[in-house]
């Protein structure tokens, strides 16, 4: 690629010389308005002895500024947004997870950076990972979260207890079946990661389930364009309230980026508020809502497993829906959970990749 094949202002804005970027932080030292209005490539010559394969040196007009660009940088394709479907491996059923569950032991995860990277990359690509053998004691979900990011405190605290409560403020704290859903859709921003750590699970029932919401949304787009358009184009009210909390947020059930790529799913029938729109728009939404729900609630799409003591599930709350079967009220079932965020996890992935790429 020649430097003259790309927009001049974009190329100049990506100059990495010490006059343009701080050598320590890599941050820009100028505003875009500081660059000349009539910016143009004055001259361009190959770097290092005339070999254009190594890159180019550009002298800019009208100010004579000199920039250098490697061929590798000029030819690099655009990185996909790690939050969109383009950066994911979608799975429509348990059977499509050909390599089995992305899992490892807690001891291996802590001891081996490569193993930790493998698990965190699984969360980024597949939406989840499972850590076995996490110590069965209070507060461990938070300890897991801190290995890749930060705990997100909410009205449930830094940690919440998933067990039968006498006066529950959420159906999750009962023994009834919970259908596939995403957590906290009434929060803005929504917690993007959830962790669930099993302390005891002796009750009959109480199996966990996961559904790939991105795969279901992609299937809806393929099978029913109008339904997909209704769900991506309708802001839905979500709400939660108890004695001390009242939360609300408006978001589409399926959120896309400007290019139309799926970026977030919010689906929770327990928290969906009252839609107040013109009749035709309301009817279109509900037609799409039912079509999407049929896909998400299809048992063939659900990965089902039972968490045992010491198992910690880490999953993407903006992509995967989670569920639970009912369990016997007299049985013991106690999970501890917390929320975290994808930006911290993706940061840790990037740092571990850099470390892995460094020569020994």
- Given a contact cutoff of 8 angstroms between Cβ atoms, the answer to whether 342 and 316 are in contact is yes
Q: Answer yes or no: is pLDDT of 53 > 90.
A: no
Q: Which long-range contacts (CB under 8 A, 24 or more apart) does 167-173 make?
A: 169/242, 169/243, 171/270, 172/324
Q: Answer yes or no: is pLDDT of 360 > 70.
A: no
The whole-angstrom separation of Cα 25 and Cα 19 is: 13
Tell me the pLDDT tens digit for each residue of 306-321: 999 999 999 999 999 9
Q: Residue 327, Cβ neighbours under 10 Å: how many? A: 21
Which CA distances in Å does 216 have to 85, 92, 151, 264, 296? 12, 7, 29, 12, 6
The arithmetic mean of pLDDT across residues 321-340, rounded, is 87
Q: Answer yes or no: is pLDDT of 129 > 70.
A: yes
Q: How far is CA 341 from the centre of its chain?
A: 8
CATH match for 3-75 among 1.20.1250.20, 3.30.2020.30, 3.40.30.10, 3.40.50.10490 = 3.30.2020.30
Spell out the alpha helix ranges (H) of 91-151: 106-111, 113-125, 140-145
Lowest-confidence range among 20-34, 165-179, 275-289?
165-179
Q: Where exactly are the structural domains of the chain?
A: 3-75, 85-353
- At residue 146 the predicted structure's pLDDT band, cuts being 50, 70 and 90, is very high
Residue with tokens 């979260």, as numbered in its chain: 145
The arithmetic mean of pLDDT across residues 121-130, rounded, is 98
Q: Domain 85-353, CATH 3.60.130.10 — does that match?
A: yes
Pick from 20, 10, 2, 30: which is nearest to 66 by CA? 20
Q: Answer yes or no: is pLDDT of 78 > 90.
A: no
State residue 332's pLDDT score.
84
Q: Answer yes or no: is pLDDT of 116 > 80.
A: yes
* 3-state class (DSSP) for residue 205: strand
The whole-angstrom separation of Cα 54 and Cα 40 is: 22
- Which distant-in-sequence residues (6+ apart) come within 8 Å of 63 by Cβ? 36
- At residue 205 the predicted structure's pLDDT band, cuts being 50, 70 and 90, is confident
The arithmetic mean of pLDDT across residues 121-135, rounded, is 98
């Amino acid at each position: 690629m020649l430097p003259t094949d790309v927009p001049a202002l974009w190329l100049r804005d990506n100059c990495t010389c010490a006059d343009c970027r701080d050598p320590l932080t890599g941050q820009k030292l100028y505003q875009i308005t500081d660059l000349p209005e009539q910016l143009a490539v004055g001259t361009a010559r190959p770097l290092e002895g005339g070999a254009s394969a190594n890159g180019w040196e550009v002298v800019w007009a009208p100010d004579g500024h000199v920039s250098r660009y490697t061929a590798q940088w000029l030819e690099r394709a655009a990185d996909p947004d790690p939050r969109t479907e383009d950066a994911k491996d979608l799975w429509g059923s348990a059977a499509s997870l050909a390599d089995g569950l992305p899992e490892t032991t807690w001891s291996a995860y802590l001891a081996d950076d490569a193993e930790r990277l493998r698990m965190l990359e699984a969360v980024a690509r597949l939406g989840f990972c499972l850590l076995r053998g996490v110590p069965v004691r209070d507060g461990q979900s938070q300890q897991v979260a801190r290995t890749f990011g930060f705990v997100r405190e909410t009205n449930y605290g830094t940690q919440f207890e998933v067990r039968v409560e006498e006066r529950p403020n959420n159906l999750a704290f009962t023994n009834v079946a919970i259908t596939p859903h995403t957590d906290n859709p009434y929060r803005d921003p929504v917690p993007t990661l959830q962790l669930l750590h099993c302390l005891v699970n002796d009750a009959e029932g109480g199996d966990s389930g996961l559904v790939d919401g991105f795969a279901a949304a992609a299937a809806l787009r393929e099978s029913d364009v109008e339904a997909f358009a209704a769900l991506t184009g309708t802001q839905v009210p979500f709400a939660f309230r108890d004695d001390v909390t009242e939360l609300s947020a408006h978001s589409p059930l399926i959120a896309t980026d400007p290019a139309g790529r799926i970026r977030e799913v919010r689906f929770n029938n327990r928290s969906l508020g009252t839609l107040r729109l013109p009749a035709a728009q309301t009817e279109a939404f509900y037609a799409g809502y039912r079509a999407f729900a049929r896909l998400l609630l299809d048992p063939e799409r659900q990965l089902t497993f039972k968490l045992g003591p010491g198992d910690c599930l880490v999953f993407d709350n903006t992509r995967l829906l989670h569920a639970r079967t009912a369990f016997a009220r007299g049985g013991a079932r106690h999970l501890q959970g917390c929320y975290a965020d994808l930006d911290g996890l993706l940061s840790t992935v990037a740092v571990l990749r850099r470390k892995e790429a460094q020569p020994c």
